[in-house]
Structure 1
Amino acid sequence: MTSSKVHAFVEGTHGAAVIDELAPHAEDFQVTHPRISGFFGTNLDPVLRARGIHTVVVTGCATNVAVDSTVRDALQLGYEPILLENCCCSSAPEFHEAALKTGELCAQRRRFSCALSDSLDSNIIIKTPRPLPVAA
């Protein structure tokens, strides 16, 4: 089943909606990524570099797919990725746990807390990708 069939990541649908508590603010920079990683095919890297950002905190849906790919690309590009294990998920708990174990090789693994959120100064939001057309 593709994401376009279940409307999980189709922009403009309920499945891709951002909850009110996480809604972007006027000063936030939003990146919609067209592929799996938040870096591939976007201007995220030059935006982070222009702002002098060296640490990337990664959260999101599909720990074992989009989150993992974004963490790996961040590392490849020279960033220090931090993976917030309790701010991401997968379609099955075993996929999530496996991705977290792999992620330990590439990123610091932390749990989100109020103390951590108070220390973060980030205004960059990566939105969910549009699904790719399925080859016939």
Structure 2
Amino acid sequence: MFGRLAGVAMPAGDEGAQIHPDVAPAQGDIILTKRGVSAFAGSDLDVVLRAGGIEHLVLTGIATSGVVLSTLRQAADLDLARTVLADGCLDNDPEVRRVLAEKVFPVQADVTTVADWAAATTAAL
């Protein structure tokens, strides 16, 4: 999927390597560099989550059949709780996204919408 980017190094100062201001990390946030399809591959994500006592992932993404699926499967192997926000996922093939959200993801995660998750999270506070 990302084969055409293999070996391509983007200089740290390059505009394309910058974090967009709308999602800029706050003071003290941890920044990890994703190096594989799964968010866990080649990163310290598992260590950071465990050190922070985080046991539940909420997944969204623009590559449902790649990043979201791979990260979900690895999170399951690591015994982390999982929620997928179906309408927060996108794929090049809408039918693939639909099948994953409706048939594959529910086997390994709670699947909900952004609005329902936000309402439940707000109610829990």
TM range (shorter): 0.7 to 0.9
* 1:75-121 C-alpha deviation (Å, 9 max, x unpaired): 1001001111111110121121122121111111011124246479x
Does residue 90 (structure 1) correspond to residue 82 (structure 2)? The answer is: no
Residue type of the alignment partner of 1:110: T
Larger Cα-atom Rg? 2
Does residue 27 (structure 1) correspond to residue 28 (structure 2)? The answer is: yes
Indicate conservation of the 8 Å contact 1:64/1:98, yes or no.
Answer: no
Q: For structure 2, list consecutive stretches of 5 or more residues without a partner in the other structure.
A: none
Greater Cα shift, 94-103 or 36-45: 94-103
Size of the alignment, in residue pairs? 116
TM superposition score normalised by structure 1:
0.70
1:21 is displaced (CA, Å) by: 3.4
Kindly, what percent of the aligned residue pairs are identical?
30
| Alignment root-mean-square deviation, CA | 2.9
Of structures 1 and 2, the one with the larger relative CO (CA 8 A, separation 6+) is 1
Higher strand proportion: 1
1:23 is displaced (CA, Å) by: 3.0
Higher helix proportion: 2
* 1:15-49 C-alpha deviation (Å, 9 max, x unpaired): x8755433322232222211110011110001100
Does residue 37 (structure 1) correspond to residue 38 (structure 2)? The answer is: yes
Q: For structure 1, list consecutive stretches of 5 or more residues without a partner in the other structure.
A: 121-136
TM superposition score normalised by structure 2:
0.76
SS at match of 1:82: strand
Determine which of 105, 114, 119 is the counterpart of 1:115: 119
Distance change >3 Å, CA 47–CA 102, structure 1 → 2: same
